[in-house]
Chains A and B, each alone.
Chain A
Amino acid sequence: MEEKLIEVVDLKKYFGSGIFKKSWIKAVDGVSFEICSKETFALVGESGCGKSTVGRCTLNLIRPTAGHVYFKDMDISSMNEVSRDIRKRIQVIFQDADGTLNPRMKVFDLMLEPFRVHGLSNGHGKEMVNELIEMVNLTPDLLGRYPHELSGGQRQRIGIARAMALNPEFIVADEPAASLDLSVQAQILDLMRKFQAEHGIGYLYISHNLKIVKLMADKVAVMYLGKLVEVGRTNDVFNCAKHPYTQALISAIPILDPCAGRKRILLKGDIPSPLNPPAGCRFHTRCPYRMKRCMIEEPALVGDKHIVACHL
């Protein structure tokens, strides 16, 4: 097995809500996982389940309320400000490349920024940027443009280039393809794969699109209301999902062949508010198989390679 890159232990992030911050929104409530190098670890779940918060906490962009994140045995969650040296090695690709590129900066400056931040741009910034822009298959004539003059795919490529510029070892990819067209999505994902193969990067891939996750990930963790409900190798999770929520998610993927017969598990209702999660198993309000026990007792994550939190 490859060496362990990131280890997240019992991560918790609560946001205060209400006027006096008396009540807590438990966005992430006790999440643990490990990511090895060259591995793509996917975190799936519906919006509001806390998957992006996990991504941000992993990079210490926001400080977790409790728990630890270790990057190669260094505890980055306890650092006040992550040192530049480590920042260089862990990077992020955002979903919304439009918002994460400063609209007043030209593409050239945006691409140079990673080097400039780390004081590496002296002298040969231009060559570095040219190399970088070729790496993500863009043409140098874009360098003089502003982000709003580019297409979504081009912007996302710049986002990726900025993340790749410093040869990181670990990247959090927060829905990198969600806002893009199908053919462009494929291009972006292909690019990410290429870099993984070349540089042995470990990805934390955050997405709600199970179809892409199935293609990209080695391991999948399914999140529901701030907790992991199922973790396992992609094949295991997709082929024999054990948690009813995972089963429902997989059955909800729209498939192209209209004739393929299948039974769809339709979940009732919406995700409950994380401000006031249901007692017992958090999924019991929507679960088709719920038992009495589910309403009272919270199931623990059990299993060895393929872990599930369910009483069934």
Chain B
Amino acid sequence: MNLLHINDLHVNFSTKAGQVRVLSGFCLDIEKGSSICLVGESGCGKTIVALSIMRLLPENAQVSGEIQFKDRDLLILEKEEIRQIRGHEISMIFEQPASCLNPVFTVGDQIAESVRANGLCKKNEARDAAIELMRLTGIPSPKKRFDQYPHEFSGGMLQRVMISIAMASKPALLIADEPTTSLDVTVQAQIVELIKDLITKFGMSLLLITHDLGVAAELCRDVAVMYAGEIVESGCLNEVFRHPKHPYTKALLRAISDDGLRPIKGSVPELTNLPEGCWFHPRCPFAEDQCRLSKPELKNGIRCHLWKKN
């Protein structure tokens, strides 16, 4: 049984410049207890997937397709119902924890509030529950830290607080949008370990969004590589990272590796001005005539005309 099933998701934004296609025919399945990672460069639509699931897209977005979560289509649910899911069954953590916390309330209050919002316990029990959550996420001396304000926390600690808040409801699915990007390497390692522990402990599913292939490799079992709003390659992370089939995945993995720099030529195409045929062909070293003419379909987890040849 799939926990989350995204089928043929299209997201368009209407801007002054006209319609911009941000996601086109995005499909993704997340099983219960599995961890999947969306990797890709900025502007490839990774975050839009997360926001679509949470129904947090801006007003000028048009969404079509289906997002099945526990047999309910999140896209057609009423606002009230989606609120019941958001932060209860699906939680999300963000890149910038400092900007997601209210600076005028103590950290503890904000965690306690999320505990209470879930209706899991009474007001007087919320403090204990919050302290328990802080302990769970490895915040040292939680009783003392409970009454401190966000500015008294370091970046790593704030991310732990955000994880505490997300964990308050023991969600079935945790969406982590670049959770370690703004952190230092040693702290990043701590947070990665923490998330790893938590998902195994509570049997959560994880949807990780990152551009850091290393973090993806540490945390996830499956991976989907995105380029210009669609998946170009997906599959078991082990397999994909060791034997990448799509030229983009190959190039991405080799761009900065131990044996030197191999930059990918050109830049990500603008979404308003996508090339004919395969969207990657202008940058692809193997491109052939058919790549320029027709757009490949996603077959066996890879979107390329030539993958059998390579």
Binding site for B on A (CB under 8 A): 46-47, 151-154, 181-187, 189-190, 193, 208-212, 214-215, 248-249, 251-259, 264, 266-267, 269-271
Contacts and interface: CB of A to CB of B under 8 A. Distances in A.
B157 interface: yes
A269 B213 contact: no
B15 interface: no
26 contacts: A47-B184, A181-B42, A182-B211, A186-B261, A187-B263, A208-B185, A211-B214, A211-B256, A214-B258, A215-B258, A215-B261, A249-B185, A251-B189, A254-B188, A254-B213, A255-B217, A256-B214, A256-B217, A256-B241, A256-B257, A258-B217, A258-B218, A258-B238, A264-B189, A266-B189, A271-B184
A49 to B, nearest CB: 9
B211 A181 contact: yes
A183 B263 contact: yes
B71 to A, nearest CB: 32
Interface string B249-267: 0011101111011111001
Contacts of A214: 258
B263 A270 contact: no
A47 B156 CA distance: 12
A100 B154 CA distance: 26
Interface string B190-219: 101100000000000000000111110110
Interface residues of B, number: 41
B255 A183 contact: yes
B176 to A, nearest CB: 14
Contacts of A185: 255-256
A253 B256 contact: no
Nearest to B187: A270
A189 B217 CA distance: 24
A138 to B, nearest CB: 11
Interface of B: 41-42, 140, 154-157, 184-190, 192-193, 211-215, 217-218, 237-238, 241-242, 251-253, 255-258, 260-264, 267-268
Nearest to B242: A257
B41 A182 contact: yes
Given A181-B42, A252-B189, A269-B140, A208 B184 contact: yes
Contacts of B238: 258-259
Contact of A182 (B188, B255, B260): B255
A183 B41 contact: yes
Contacts of B253: 256
B87 to A, nearest CB: 28
B189 A186 contact: no
